[in-house]
Amino acid sequence: MRLKGKCAIVTGGGNGIGAGCARRLAAEGAQVLIADIDDAGGAALAAELGSGARYVHTDVSQQAAVEALMNAALESCGSADILVNNAAFVHKAGVVENFLDYNEAAWQRTLAVNLSGMFYCSQATARLMAQRGQGGSIINISSGGATRAHRHMFGYDTSKGGIEAATRAMALDLAGVNIRVNCVVPGSTRVDNGTAVGDSPMQPGAVIPLARQGTPADIAAAVAFLASDDAAYITGTRIVVDGGMDAQLRSPAVDFSYDFSAWA
């Protein structure tokens, strides 16, 4: 119960990694606000977690919606102690989405959710934390794509790189009010609907040293650690939770061929 008496906000908390984080933080004693646009998933999870959880419909790309989320936190908890920025948009128009084909609508939506949403939520929550004067913890969910790009995922990887840069910048600016800011970097993670973040047609043992895909619970364990006082001297860094993928060089046997003739 490391987080007993704490209030946590988890964006994109209705399913997948976000739901895993909400469950773990609640199990550690925190009150949890589940912020998502998936009303069915968010409401079901709040019901599962009981009286210590609340679902708030939130499109993080809209500043007014984030302000409503902060009001819900004030109403439920009086402030906020933990923010998990997990909400993300991934645009994949078919198997191949080369940079030459990437469209403005996808770019704008990716930036709106992945970067602007992170900014709106972080600044609003940090202001609540600073006003109360007891510090806090902001945890951003990044991706291996922030430092080692996926093929044909330009917008997503660009936004995740921005999230890691923002993590470092926020950590410096907020250290004076004892608000710690860190990243968790998931590897290939099997989620509720059977798909995976960072999925591959190859067997896990061929690309993951620990020979299995991660689970939301694996990611949530790192999030709970960073949210707790056990991480009181950790800020501005990233924890990679990927079964060892980041430690190796590999050439995946995946066909990433692209027909450039249309642009010749």
Instruction: Give CA–CA dist 152/235, Å, rounded.
Output: 32
In 3D space, the residue among 83, 184, 84 whose CA is nearest the CA of residue 135 turns out to be 83
Instruction: Give CA–CA dist 78/194, Å, rounded.
Output: 37
Give the 3-state secondary structure of residue 4: coil
Catalytic residue among 55, 102, 156, 233: 156
Rg (CA), the chain: 18
CA distances from residue 193 to 17, 19, 110, 189, 236 in whole angstroms, order as listed:
11, 12, 22, 11, 32
Contact (Cβ atoms closer than 8 angstroms) between residue 189 and residue 223: no
Instruction: Give CA–CA dist 226/100, Å, rounded.
Output: 39
Q: Both tokens of residue 240?
A: 């990679």
Q: Both tokens of residue 6?
A: 């704490």
Start-to-end CA distance of the chain, whole Å, equals: 61
120 is a catalytic site residue: no
Q: Both tokens of residue 25?
A: 């933080």
- b/e per residue, 143-181, with b = 16+ CB within 10 A? bbbbeebeebbbbbbbbbbbbbebbbebbeebeebebbb
Which of the residues are catalytic?
Answer: 156
